[in-house]
Amino acid sequence: MHTPVAQQIPLDFAPDARVWVYQCNRAFREKEVIEIKEQLLQFYEQWESHGKKVKAWAGIVFNQFIVLMADEKASALVGGCSIDSSVRIIKSLEKQYGIQLFDRMSISFLIEDKVQMLPLQQLKYASEKGYIDKDTLFFNNAITTKEELLHSWLVPIHESWLANRI
């Protein structure tokens, strides 16, 4: 059984805290999870924007997604160079572990408590063959806030932007 997202993220971040979701092309190995969490911790504990500390958090969720969160109400606004620095750490992880974290042409579903990825162009085929249906849980990685992460990230297809595509 999967752990609910709300139990994995900090409670003290504002509902409109900014969120970035990076979907990995495969599940992380146990050793990778430990190493990546340590690298993410080192990054977000030092993350600054315009010389001010960013209240941030990053972690691995569902063993296949890196979630980065910044609470701009409690710290500096995040933009430009500070976002570039977060992208650099994600790109560094890609290179270090031989993974893909920026593939926006693949989508993920939670099927029998397991993350299943599918190339976007195969969505109609998967629906026609019964692999997915309107009630299949979809990871909507286009979310941008903590509130959306909690309530709109993992939703049935019929409640997402994919609804009209199947």
Span 3-18, pLDDT tens digits: 578 889 998 999 999 9
Q: Residue 114 is part of which domain span?
A: 106-165
**In terms of domains, do 128 and 157 share one?**
yes
Please provide the average confidence, as pLDDT, over all residues in the chain. Answer: 94
Which pLDDT does position 3 carry in this prediction?
Answer: 54
pLDDT at 86: 96
Stretch 66-90: mean pLDDT:
92
Within a domain: residue 29?
Answer: yes
Is a pLDDT exceeding 70 seen at residue 1? no
Residues 92 and 110 in one domain: no
Residue ending a domain, choose from 79, 97, 115: 97
Same domain, 93 and 27: yes
18 contacts: CB under 8 Å, gap ≥ 6: 69, 70, 71, 72, 78, 144, 145
Three-state SS sequence of 117-154:
EEEHHHHHHHHHCCCCCCCCEEECCCCCEHHHHHHCCE
Look at phi and psi of residue 11 and say left if phi exceeds 0, alpha if psi is from -120 to 50, else beta: alpha
At residue 2, the pLDDT reads 46
Predicted local distance difference test score (pLDDT) of residue 166: 82
Report which of 136, 113, 141 is spatially closest to residue 123, judged by C-alpha positions.
136
pLDDT (average), residues 53-65: 96
Q: Report the percentage of the chain scoring pLDDT > 90.
A: 84
Predicted confidence band of residue 110 (pLDDT cuts 50, 70, 90):
very high
Give the H/E segment covering residue 67.
Answer: strand 65-70
- Residue 2 belongs to some domain of the structure: no
In the chain, the number of structural domains is: 2
pLDDT at 117: 97
Q: What average pLDDT does the segment 51-76 reach? A: 94
Question: Do 110 and 85 share a structural domain?
Answer: no
Task: Find out whether 76 and 53 touch, Cβ atoms under 8 Å.
Answer: yes
Whether 23 and 70 map to the same domain: the answer is yes
